[in-house]
Amino acid sequence: MRVIVLGGAGDMGSRAVRDLVEQPDVEALAIADSDEAKAHALATSVGSPKMSVVKVDANDHDALVQAITPYDVVASAVGPFYKYEGKCAAAAIDAGRAYVSICDDYDGAQAALALDDRARQRGVSVLTGMGWTPGLSNILARKGVEELESVDEINVAWGGSASDSEGFAVILHTLHIFTGVVPSFQNGRLIDVPAGSGKERVRFPLPVGEINVFHLGHPEPVTLPRTYTSVRTVTLKGGLSENFLNALSIAMNKLHLTSTPDKRDTIARLVKSLLPVLSKVGKPAQPCSAIRVDVKGMKNGKRAQVTYGAADHMNTLTGVPLAIGALMLGRGAITQRGVIAPEACVPPAQFISELAKRGIRIFSGDRLADTVA
């Protein structure tokens, strides 16, 4: 198969590139990025004859379609996704090519879902949100649903250190999800809740441990209820290990410093320049990221809960699922057409097996101490 990775020179995309290039059935792999020099540096460091570099601009639809057309699968790590998911997915659809992304913005996911009819008409599979959260989180939610007889609540939480990634798109994403109101699925309907509200202390797999988390703007409350229509509650909360950065993000939201894309761009550039200093304040001994998924319902006539989690570096938790999703599309393991989320098409056992091959462990139980078989 021939694969093109949009944003392939970035923190998350480069991890997917390094995974894909090792797969025997990937015969050609393009690093597509606006930063051509950075893409060439990555290609040189990997040193594979399979690889090529393509300069792309996600804002130029026709040129993006032209760049995509020679490939079988498009894997997108172009963030922030509130700006680019709709654009990249539309280009893949118009090129007639399978598409997978790590879209982690709720409005980016909504933009992709709005293209469902267009994708179906072209016979194209668009797998949106196949990263860490969403992605890994959705598939662990599906595993929990399959463990129980009925499910009425799914709670997703993520935690991580700001020093686990310093990408500009990650900073923009963090500012975006802490801004305004964000979707949460409660009492059987999608509602808006204030970003940064609902503070809760959640325990993640080590070395992340306990972190304060808040309602933030991710796609899980948007997509999971579409797949599991009997579920009454789907929440997404997240937070940074450096708690002062959570407080700073909430304060900037209250002061309306991040209320528009232009304002977020300005603040993100400032944060990017200060991050080497800021990230040292409250920096954990082992910077890491984690996910926790709690699924609640009934089993054997009684209330029951199953819990799954994982911890690793952010680029691994995000980039590896993107690579696995691209491989599944290229190998024909995903056959649904239209715009789909991971829980609708990715079998948990197969996915967890692929993670294990790459050294990523999934934990289960309230203490998150037992490896999933």
What digits encode the pLDDT tens for the residues 240-253? 988 888 888 899 88
Mean pLDDT of 96-111: 97
pLDDT band at 277 (very low <50, low <70, confident <90, very high): low
- 136-312: in CATH 3.30.360.10: yes
Answer yes or no: is pLDDT of 200 > 60.
Answer: yes
pLDDT band at 373 (very low <50, low <70, confident <90, very high): very low
Kindly report the pTM of this predicted structure: 0.93
Per-residue pLDDT, 368: 59
Answer yes or no: is pLDDT of 36 > 70.
Answer: yes
Lowest mean pLDDT among 46-55, 282-291, 314-323: 282-291
Share of residues in the chain with pLDDT > 70 (%): 94
Mean pLDDT of 323-331: 98
Share of residues in the chain with pLDDT > 90 (%): 79
Lowest mean pLDDT among 20-24, 184-188, 238-242: 238-242
In terms of CATH architecture, what is 2-131+314-357? 3-Layer(aba) Sandwich (3.40)
What are the sequence ranges of the domains in the chain?
A: 2-131+314-357, 136-312
Measure the CA–CA gap between 209 and 132, rounded to whole angstroms: 18
Per-residue pLDDT, 281: 59
Q: Are 81 and 101 in contact (CB under 8 A)?
A: yes
Answer yes or no: is pLDDT of 196 > 90.
Answer: yes
pLDDT band at 280 (very low <50, low <70, confident <90, very high): low
Which of 299, 268, 292, 373 shows the shortest CA–CA distance to 147? Answer: 299
Q: How far is CA 107 from CA 81, 112, 192, 317, in A?
A: 8, 9, 13, 22
